[in-house]
Amino acid sequence: MEPSKYPLLAREGWGHIGYALSAALAVNWIGGFWWALPLWLIVAFVLQFFRDPPRVIPADPNAVVCPADGQVIAVDEVEDPYLKRPARRISIFMNVFNVHSNRMPVAGTVKERWYHKGSFFNAALDKAARENERNALWIKTEDGRDVVVVQVAGLIARRILCYVLPGATVSRGERYGFIRFGSRVDIYLPLESKPAVSLGDKTRGGSQIAAHLLQ
């Protein structure tokens, strides 16, 4: 999708923004600005949380783009819990001040989707990937590589939104979901992939390359 076609505010936040703005305007009209100030601060927070800026998607066909804004909290080799294979994992933690739109790391076909109910531990903890509420997608690229991307709920996140189903054809950097109020996204890649980010790096979903799928 062209960057200009993305809304500046995520549609998932329109209701929250409307409620917050209505409450602030009502209290401002009845009691004045200073009484309404805490509500205006809430409006500002909600606006920044649900912002959805356009991103320019890298053209490199072997690029795996970051699925989320945030901070890299893991770059390691683990057992992929979905495809039961050795895999290279890249984990990105989103705090409440990050953009929370989730984007496809690669182009391909969605082969399977798994949803698991679970706990709500701090998403930065490693056990969150195993025990928290999560939604996983298995994507097979056009050249047959398997990539799994997992939305993981966090300590205060209470809703994972995912808009694609098995059989869907997806594009790299395409917006496919949203997690409300703090969370993480994990990518499980083939072992031969080469990470392009390091532990502690700040990421930009959709426009920054997380790894390369080597030929």
Taking only the tens place, the pLDDT of each residue in 200-211 is 999 999 999 999
Q: Give the alpha-carbon dihedral of 7, 42, 156, 75, to 10 degrees.
A: 50
- Residue 98 to residue 50: CA distance in whole angstroms: 9
- Measured in residues, the chain has a length of 215
Catalytic residue among 91, 101, 183, 193: 183
Give me the residue label for tokens 């683990």. 78
**Integer-rounded Cα radius of gyration of the chain:** 18
Confidence of residue 2 (pLDDT cuts 50, 70, 90): very low
Break the chain into its structural domains and give their ranges: 3-49, 63-212
Residue whose structure tokens are 């949203």: 178
CATH topology of domain 63-212: Glucose Permease (Domain IIA) (2.70.70)
Q: Residue 193 gets which letter from DSSP? A: -
> Does residue 3 register a pLDDT over 50?
no
Q: What percent of the chain has pLDDT over 70?
A: 86
- Which amino acid type is present at position 4? S
How far is Cα of residue 201 from the mean position of the Cα atoms in its chain?
Answer: 16
H/E run at residue 17: helix 14-31
pLDDT confidence band for 80 (50 / 70 / 90)? very high
Q: What is the pLDDT of residue 201?
A: 96
The angle subtended at Cα 82 by Cα 139 and Cα 173, nearest 5°, is 30
What is the rounded distance in angstroms from the CA atom of residue 107 to the CA atom of residue 104?
7
Report the candidate in 187, 189, 190, 160 with the shortest Cα–Cα distance to residue 176: 160
pLDDT of 123 reads 61
Question: How big is the CA angle at 113 (ends 111 and 115), to the nearest 5 degrees?
Answer: 170
pLDDT at 89 over 90: yes
Q: Does 22 participate in catalysis according to the annotation? A: no
**The Cα angle at residue 42 between residues 160 and 132, in degrees rounded to 5:** 25
Q: What is the pLDDT of residues 137-191, one digit of tens each?
A: 999 999 999 999 999 987 665 678 899 999 999 999 999 988 876 688 999 999 9
pTM of the model: 0.83
Looking at every residue in the chain, the average pLDDT score rounds to 85
pLDDT number for residue 5: 54
**106 or 1, which is more confident:** 106
